Amino acid sequence: MDLRDAVQWVHANAAQFGGDPASITLMGHGYGAALVSLLMASKFAQVSPGETFLGVRNVILMGGTAHAPWATSPFFQFFSERLLNRLNLSSIATDQSLMSRMRHLSVGRILEAELAIPSLKYASRLGPVASESGFFSNNVAVELAAREAGLNGANLLVGFGRHSGQHLISELYLNSGMDSAEFDRVLRTLVHQTFRYRQQILLDVLANHYSDAGVPRRGGSAQASLARRCVDLLTDALFAAPSLRTAQLHARTSGSATYAYVFGYASSVPQHQRWAGGVWTDDLAFVLGAPLLSNEQHPLAPWSGSYLLEDRMLAEASMRYFGNFATS
């Protein structure tokens, strides 16, 4: 509901800042993109044919959509109960009283309690769920298929970094390689946390497709090859497949423009190994123009460094591409 309220505020006040309340673009990265996608697919955003939801004409999803297995939480009740126990609030009977008590707790206190709960590696602990008062009133997957395809008539630009799953792998394995036992552990954890049905079949298929460590890719040892394949596995399952699913649904049924991209450029700033061009947030750095800023005036600290001319040229092209979409 806070997302809906934010869009309502922009729609009501855009004209005061020289904006067009009838031509709003929503953009998100990672979980932010998933939330934008969920909002546009939710019951809050449903409008009559030919209308737009509060003037939203364009949607940009970078590295996340409502179809990502981590976008919604299948374990919400399990973790909610444990969070309330750690906050000593489990005995409160009504939702209204519970919310009143939680509003008096600091953000730091709530985060401390939440982080103390054993985490999931590839799935969300707390997130949008199906409920009468939430994003979706029935089965999330069914409603997504029916609603997200159109995004209420908005144009869609969706994409991801070619190696977005890299940030989920330990630097030790990226630098030194991964043995088959560790790859099997990652694969089993991924399947068990993100898929509910036919897990053994999925394990067999994915293991056969991704874990052929005997044939090194792009040079190097079998262990280095397996680490790269692990990055490919996580990228495909958690980012690529959900993004492409969203693009396909939108293109088939929306009647609006659909664009998709894959960012695979390796910049001259060596934050990661060169083979991993297009890792998590790399696309965001170029869309926000990080290479165009000098180190002395650099407010985008995560992406600071000495960029080359080709980096700056790509940043200019990326900003122009996204800007043209937002103003189309």
Contacts of residue 206, defined as CB under 8 A and 6 or more positions apart, other chains included, come to 187, 191, 233, 237
pLDDT score, position 63: 94
**Structural domain includes residue 99:** no
**Structural domain includes residue 87:** no
Residue 262 confidence class, pLDDT cut points 50, 70, 90:
very high
pLDDT score, position 72: 76
Percentage of the chain beyond pLDDT 70 is: 79
Mean pLDDT across 231-241: 93
CA R_g for the chain = 21
pLDDT score, position 292: 86
**Structural domain includes residue 303:** yes
Q: What is the CATH number of the domain that holds 290?
A: 3.40.50.1820
CA 61 to chain centre: 8
Structure tokens at 12: 């009501």
Q: What is the pLDDT of residues 135-156, one digit of tens each?
A: 444 455 555 655 555 577 789 9
**Structural domain includes residue 242:** yes
The kind and range of the H/E element at 48 are none
Q: What is the pLDDT of residues 177-217, one digit of tens each?
A: 888 899 999 999 888 877 777 889 988 888 888 876 444 45
**Structural domain includes residue 12:** yes
Residue 270 confidence class, pLDDT cut points 50, 70, 90:
low
Domain that holds residue 228: 2-75+120-326
Backbone angles phi, psi at 324, to 5 degrees: -65, -40
pLDDT score, position 42: 76
* Total domain count, the chain: 1
CA-closest candidate to residue 133, choices 83, 99, 84, 101: 99
**Structural domain includes residue 221:** yes
Mean pLDDT across 153-180: 88
Whole-prediction pTM = 0.82
Average pLDDT, the chain: 81
Mean pLDDT across 255-261: 92
**Structural domain includes residue 101:** no
The residue ranges of DSSP E strands in the chain, in sequence order, are: 24-29, 56-62, 155-161, 258-263
SS3 assignment, position 259: strand
Neighbour tally for 119: CB within 10 Å: 10
**Structural domain includes residue 251:** yes
> How deeply is 317 buried, as exposed, middle or buried, from its count of CB atoms within 10 A (0-12, 13-18, 19+)?
exposed
